[in-house]
Amino acid sequence: MKILALAAMAIALCATAARAADPRHPDWPCTQAKVPEISLAAVWSGPPLDDVQSKWKDDAKISALVARLSARKTPMDEAEKAVKEVLAASGPDKTNNAKLLFAGLFDTLNAQRSQVMNGLERVSRKQRDAADKIREEAVQLQALQGATPRDETKVEALSNDLIWKTRIFEDRTKVVRFVCEVPTSIDQRLFALGRVIQQEME
Amino acid sequence: MSRMWRVGLLAGLALAAAAPPAHAFVAYVSNEKSNTVSVIDTDTWTVTKTIKVGQRPRGIDLTRDGRFVMVAVGDDDTIEVIDTKTQTVVDSLPSGPDPELFAQDAAGKILYVANENDNTVTVIDLEKRARLGDIQVGVEPEGMTISPDGKTLINTSETTNMAHFIDTATRQIVANVLVDARPRYAEYKHDSSEVWVSSEIGGTVSIIDPKKHEVIGKVTFEIPGLRKEAIQPVGIGMTRDDKTAFVALGPANRIAVVDVATRKVTKYLLVGQRVWHVAFTPDEKYLLTTNGVSNDVSVIDVAAQKVIKTIQVGELPWGVAIAP
């Protein structure tokens, strides 16, 4: 009986997990609204970046710094310090370097963010399949339990399988909830770095 | 995938132990997600204390005598009272379920609380700290403001898209004014001639004639390169001379500076992410904004119309109130 209750719970769980909050993004599993891309104007009020575009990739020093600052393992205060140091040492190239640096961060962090979001949607689709499977097996188990004579070996095997599948499903749901915070933390990083760069340009 | 899991939690609170000089003001910021109130010294612009409060603190204000900070803790269904001397929670006020925002009359005797969950406004006697009654309003009451003469209370309701004008003497709704989608906040001009109501989804500020109960104008916002949905007006602050209004634009990450006479935006200031509410220092030299996603407070020099400082606070800062 316990197992049936567990299966019922799992089904209820799947139902909520599979329901998309935003009909435009049916696979988006997060309660946070999906913002597919950060728009430049939301994070930058400095001079236009049209003239730098992807030139930051050609500048070895800038592109190395972009890689370092984009890595979430680099603490923010360390990143901010690095921005200040590089721009202070830029002399007459300060404005240009600032623009290159922000263009690089904008491209890199936006790409990083898309990757995370695609991953979340992929997991969300997998979870929906897993939910279907759990539902199916729960129905099968019910039938097995109701059958006379009852095949205890089969009942036990299927129960165990169901317990495992449910546990994996629940764990993944928890992880998804956690990863849902990542796009926001990337937004925060980009904004904070952009703000330092703009302050240094003034 | 494993890299994503290792993402660190948001930065903790920075606690600085600076002694406030004689003429500094003290700002109190409610942090909706970390269930705290950050105390900021406006002279050093540092966080001097973080006060643990109830769950989901949002609306925040001081009693008129400056002795207490009131903070609506929605998930605990109450309003907590913080003693400004000891900077600790000392009491609570009997609101309805899920209080979000409140307004007090000019004398500081009566408090009106918008309860998001039961479509009522609770009336509280501040001296006795007792509940006087309830007023039925629209679905999901949100913004609250009181006319300078104390006779009219305005409450906006999120779902019915209306500003309700309530007679404070009879506690009856005398007029409903339809505004744009999801009205969030209402602010009276100091000369009482206009009420400004921000609409988060509509992306506008409606200007209402409080005598005729009619919308007489609208402030619209446009930021090149930003999608219209990203412009979500919420908090409004107006200078005492009624010349300049500052409107927080949510995920546009900007404060719009509006010329009140022409109702046109003169400037946009990039502040922090998801800028929500604003408050002036009593001398009106500075305007503080709460930035919910970047977890900080921006300081704007009002005369220069420039951002001069950013202060890290708790998670999801919502409201701000400043004591003398």
Distance from CA of A13 to the nearest CA of B (A): 22
Chain-chain contact of A184 with B253 (C-beta, under 8 angstroms): no
Q: How confident is the model at residue A2 (pLDDT cuts 50, 70, 90)?
A: low
Chain-chain contact of B294 with A182 (C-beta, under 8 angstroms): no
- B8 and A CB contact within 8 Å: yes
* Segment B112-141 mean pLDDT: 89
The answer as to whether A31 is a domain residue is no
- B152 and A CB contact within 8 Å: no
Chain-chain contact of B294 with A192 (C-beta, under 8 angstroms): yes
pLDDT, tens digit (0-9, with 9 covering 90-100), for B221-243: 999 888 888 899 999 999 999 99
- In this prediction, residue A25 carries a pLDDT of 86
**Surface-to-core class of residue A138, CB atoms within 10 Å of its CB (0-12 exposed, 13-18 middle, 19+ buried):** buried
Can you give the pTM of this predicted structure?
Answer: 0.81
Of B58-62, B138-142, B256-260, the range with the lowest mean pLDDT is B138-142
The answer as to whether A35 is a domain residue is no
The answer as to whether A99 is a domain residue is yes
Structural contact between residues B253 and A43, judged by C-beta atoms closer than 8 angstroms: yes
pLDDT, tens digit (0-9, with 9 covering 90-100), for A132-166: 999 999 999 999 999 889 999 999 999 999 999 99
Nearest residue in chain A measured CA to CA from B229 = A35
Chain-chain contact of A41 with B268 (C-beta, under 8 angstroms): no
- In this prediction, residue A9 carries a pLDDT of 58
pLDDT, tens digit (0-9, with 9 covering 90-100), for B26-70: 999 999 999 999 999 999 999 999 999 999 999 999 999 999 999
Look at residue B93 and tell me whether its pLDDT is greater than 80: yes
Look at residue B16 and tell me whether its pLDDT is greater than 50: no
Q: Which amino acid is at A30?
A: C
Look at residue B15 and tell me whether its pLDDT is greater than 60: no
Cα B66 from chain centroid (whole Å): 17
- Domain range for residue A129? 2-22+46-201
- In this prediction, residue A110 carries a pLDDT of 94
The answer as to whether A36 is a domain residue is no
* Segment A64-77 mean pLDDT: 94
Look at residue A45 and tell me whether its pLDDT is greater than 60: yes
Chain-chain contact of B270 with A179 (C-beta, under 8 angstroms): no
The answer as to whether A65 is a domain residue is yes
Cβ-based contacts of A179 with chain B (< 8 Å): 1, 4-5, 7
Cβ-based contacts of A44 with chain B (< 8 Å): 270
pLDDT, tens digit (0-9, with 9 covering 90-100), for B156-207: 988 889 999 999 999 999 999 999 999 999 999 999 999 999 999 999 999 9
Q: How many domains is chain A partitioned into structurally?
A: 1
- In this prediction, residue A14 carries a pLDDT of 52
The answer as to whether A87 is a domain residue is yes
Q: What is the mean pLDDT of chain A?
A: 88
Of A39-43, B138-142, B280-284, B309-313, the range with the lowest mean pLDDT is B138-142
Interface mutation target, options A78, A195, A200, chain B, most CBs of B under 10 Å:
A195
- B230 and A CB contact within 8 Å: yes
The answer as to whether A196 is a domain residue is yes
Chain-chain contact of B295 with A116 (C-beta, under 8 angstroms): no
* Segment B119-141 mean pLDDT: 89
Share of chain B above pLDDT 90, in %: 81
Distance between CA A152 and CA A150 in Å, rounded? 6
- In this prediction, residue B206 carries a pLDDT of 97
Chain-chain contact of A39 with B230 (C-beta, under 8 angstroms): yes
Cβ-based contacts of A127 with chain B (< 8 Å): none
Would you state the structure tokens that stand for residue B282, as one six-digit string? 């009593």
Q: Is A150 helix (H, G, I), strand (E, B) or coil?
A: coil
Interface mutation target, options B2, B7, B311, chain A, most CBs of A under 10 Å:
B7
The answer as to whether A138 is a domain residue is yes
Cβ-based contacts of B270 with chain A (< 8 Å): 44-45, 195, 198
- In this prediction, residue B106 carries a pLDDT of 86
Distance from CA of A30 to the nearest CA of B (A): 15
